Amino acid sequence: MKLEELRDFELTESQKMTRTMARDFARKEILPNVQNWEKNAEYPHDIVKKMGELGMLGIFVPEKYGGAELDHMSYGIICEEIAYADWVSASVISVQNSLVETGILNFGTEEQKQRYLVPLAKGEMQASSALTEPSGGTDLASLETTAKRDGDYYILNGQKTFCSHANYANVFFTLASIDRNLGRKGICAFLVDGTSPGITVNPLNMSTMKRGNLGHIFLDDVRVPKENLLGEEGLGMRVVGANLSMGRFSVASRCVGQAQACLDAALKYAPERKIFGQKESEFQMVKKMVADMVVSIEAARLMVYRLGRLLDSDVGRVTSIASMTKLFASEVATQAALNSIQIHGGYGFTEEFPVGRYLLEAKSLEVGEGNSQLHRDILADWAFGVRDY
């Protein structure tokens, strides 16, 4: 019996159908094109449009707003399957669903839902999360971007960096402080239209992962209507915090997908390569690497499934479980990429095989949604009883 058949007892028929849909789309329409996109640094505009048509960009959005209205397990399955094929396409799903749309759903007005949520869910509009600043990414509460009230507007000034899909975003979900002396209590969440005067987006000069379209955003006296404030003044960190576990769940799911791609690449390559007249797959040390990958990936997947069920059961805040899952899955993905490169040898660094870029993509997910050091700190405090969720 295959591992996937053993896992199926945990999934509903609807979730199995979702997996089949996402897998077929990923393997048939995305995977065959990724290497060429990488070579030409092409952004998958057509794929983003199709993902919107399939409901992948409005997973939690109610049908009345044009969404698919699915559960968290289905979201994780979709993230895993798309990430198996392409890091960039999976990132679009993660950014659009985890923070931006869920923030609007939970804190937005009806007018904001009609103006932003409907086109975002349908894939007619694309979002970018503009949170990280040049002075630091993990410590959001110390942001330097300011928002000054001016009649019916807020005037935003500051910089954001490492903003995914920045050049193609119609709306930026961003944080700014109305009074930095208030610390977290002065931070507000805004929906900033991408065409607003005063916004400048410069691509970051990345040494790799160029297709992710990471941008550095300058906000120079950007006038944001007060109607674009998400929630109330001073609740920006609450808006972000309410979606942290979901964001980490989506990243962990993507890590499982990428780790599986690393394993499958190794399983395909090792039996075809001969060393000293023997198949590489017959060497004990190679078998050990493969066995370790199988065990760790399956463990990560089961942790992701558990987190998905917890999020669907509405048991309350699961911050520490989300940290544990994201930490483990991201490090599993990195180690799986390292093992797969080792099995491929020098060919692991060529464009002919994808495992070299898998490593850098996996490592980026160790940093995104809180780096490993942050999550270990959260988990240690949880273990010592300093925090109770």
pLDDT tens for 33-45 read: 999 998 888 999 9
pLDDT surpasses 80 at 8: no
- Is the pLDDT at 159 greater than 80? The verdict is yes
Q: Which of 12-21, 330-339, 367-376 has the lowest mean pLDDT?
A: 367-376
Q: Which residues of 350-379 are buried (b: 16+ CB within 10 A; e: fewer)?
A: eeebbbbbbbebbbbbbebbbebebbeebb
- Cβ atoms 87, 209 nearer than 8 A: yes
> Which pLDDT score is estimated for 202?
92
User: What pLDDT score does 7 carry?
Assistant: 67
The mean pLDDT value for 209-213 works out to 74
SS3 content of the chain, % helix, strand, coil (to 5): 60, 15, 25
Mean pLDDT to the nearest integer, 87-93? 95
Q: Does 352 participate in catalysis according to the annotation?
A: no
Q: What is the mean pLDDT of residues 271-276?
A: 89
What is the sign, positive or negative, of the torsion defined by CA atoms of 36, 41, 47, 49? negative
Band (3; pLDDT cuts 50, 70, 90):
low
User: Measured between alpha carbons, how far is 249 from 73 in angstroms, rounded to an integer?
Assistant: 10
Burial of 51 (0-12, 13-18, 19+ CB in 10 A): buried
Task: Determine the Cα–Cα distance for residues 23 and 81; give it in Å rounded to an integer.
Answer: 5
Q: What is the pLDDT of residues 136-149, one digit of tens each?
A: 766 777 789 999 99
Q: Which of 38, 81, 133, 369 is catalytic?
A: 369
Arithmetic mean of pLDDT over the chain = 92
Give 314's pLDDT tier (boundaries 50, 70, 90): confident
The pTM score is: 0.93
Q: How confident is the model at residue 344 (pLDDT cuts 50, 70, 90)?
A: very high
Q: Evaluate whether 322 touches 307 at the Cβ level (below 8 Å).
A: yes
Residues 6+ apart with CB under 8 A from 262: 293, 333, 336, 337, 339, 340, 355, 358, 362
What is the mean pLDDT of the segment spanning 94-118?
94
pLDDT, one tens digit per residue, over 227-243 is: 999 999 999 999 988 88
In this structure, the number of other CB atoms found within 10 A of the CB of residue 236 comes to 31
Are 75 and 154 within 8 A, CB to CB? no
Strand-strand pairing, 171-177 and 187-193: antiparallel
Q: What pLDDT score was predicted for residue 370?
A: 87
The 10s digit of each residue's pLDDT in 43-89 is 999 999 999 999 999 999 999 999 999 999 999 999 999 999 999 99
Tell me the mean pLDDT in the region 305-326.
92
pLDDT-derived band at 368 (thresholds 50, 70, 90) equals confident
Report pLDDT for 1. 55
Q: List the beta bridge partners of residue 154.
A: 149, 224
Banded pLDDT at 185 (limits 50, 70, 90) = very high
Residue of 115 and 207 predicted with greater confidence: 115
Length of the chain: 389
